[in-house]
Amino acid sequence: MARKLTQLELLLELEPIAEQNVHRHLSMAKEWHPHEYVPWDEGRNFAEMNGTDWELGQSRLSEVARAAMITNLLTEDNLPSYHREIAENFSRDGAWGTWVGRWTAEENRHGIVIRDYLVVTRAVDPVALENARMAHMTGGYNPMKLIRDGGGSVEDLLADTGFLHSVAYVTFQELATRVSHRNTGKVCDDPIADRMLQRIALDENLHMIFYRNMCGAALDLVPDQALQAITDIITHFQMPGAGMPDWRRNGVLMAKHGIYDLRQHLEEVVMPVVRKWNIFERNDFGPHGDANRNRLGEFLEKLQGDCVRFEEQRDRALAREAARRNLVGAKG
């Protein structure tokens, strides 16, 4: 049985590949500026500056679009916690340090541009938004809690390297965030919002590719060890926004209206990456890796069934809502 590598050994072994992927990222990343995606001519003062405070009638976004925008922005707001997490599990030196700094700077633009858009267009209540930001950032991002809340064992996580779990998690999380931003843009019914969120989604996709390549390299280097982390993350995955104010309500709205639901998670996030890594075709796993591959296969099969059940429940709920609207319209 191959010896497990420590976190330091993994970082040293993978640093040349990290350097290649940093250069690849920098060659592909497009320069853009948040101020160019905000309709500043729509801005006006609030009451504190002798203007008018926010009220719901000022928003052009639907309830679903507002919920998705707020969820996406509060997720981006927790960047200090995410930065700390990858800085501690990667490194602040060499290619790793370059990546951590660059990734953080690029991610910061996302929160800047979404907030500017929402405040300038009066799309959401800015006071409620700020209160939610304060609450969410004060709570921070705790991957241990996410795994525990998802049914996973913190002890299992601690028994392995934080790097492998971290790089596996952000691979799927970045892709999930890309899907959420892209689909949020579609429901906003505003070409400015759609253009802005498509721009953000392009960033998230490039970030995902970096992490996917690094996790794939780790899978080649320590197959059994890496698959343990990948399986842990997939089977207990939760988005980093879990626990934010109104998380459950907004998440239900987003899932019900096709912004981010269980089938999108399976077919647009999990399975493309699993196929890219050839997890079910590889022949380099030992007994421990094979056991985890079986565990993963059983979970994915169950997830497929969960998708069908969710969609049946969603269709019934949407049909009931449509019937109620028709009844109200007929009475009106």
Q: How far apart are CA 152 and CA 156, in angstroms?
A: 8
Backbone phi and psi for residue 252, each to the nearest 5 degrees, phi listed first: -65, -45
Q: How far apart are CA 207 and CA 201, in angstroms?
A: 10
Question: Is residue 55 annotated as involved in ligand binding?
Answer: no
Residue 320 in tokens: 């009931």
Q: Is 302 exposed, middle or buried (0-12, 13-18, 19+ CB in 10 A)?
A: exposed
Q: How far apart are CA 168 and CA 163, in angstroms?
A: 8
Q: Is 5 helix (H, G, I), strand (E, B) or coil?
A: coil
Decide if 123 contacts 59 (C-beta within 8 A). yes
Question: Is residue 25 annotated as involved in ligand binding?
Answer: no
Question: Is residue 85 annotated as involved in ligand binding?
Answer: no
Q: How far apart are CA 222 and CA 311, in angstroms?
A: 38
Q: Is 210 exposed, middle or buried (0-12, 13-18, 19+ CB in 10 A)?
A: buried
Question: Is residue 257 annotated as involved in ligand binding?
Answer: no
How open is the CA angle 322-246-128, to the nearest 5 degrees?
110
Contacts of 317 by beta carbon, 8 Å cutoff, 6+ apart: 256
Question: Is residue 63 annotated as involved in ligand binding?
Answer: no
Q: How far apart are CA 57 and CA 199, in angstroms?
A: 28
Decide if 200 contacts 116 (C-beta within 8 A). no
Q: How far apart are CA 289 and CA 239, in angstroms?
A: 26
Question: Is residue 204 annotated as involved in ligand binding?
Answer: yes
Residues in binding site for Fe cation = 76, 107, 110, 174, 204, 207
Could you tell me which residues are annotated as the binding site?
76, 107, 110, 174, 204, 207
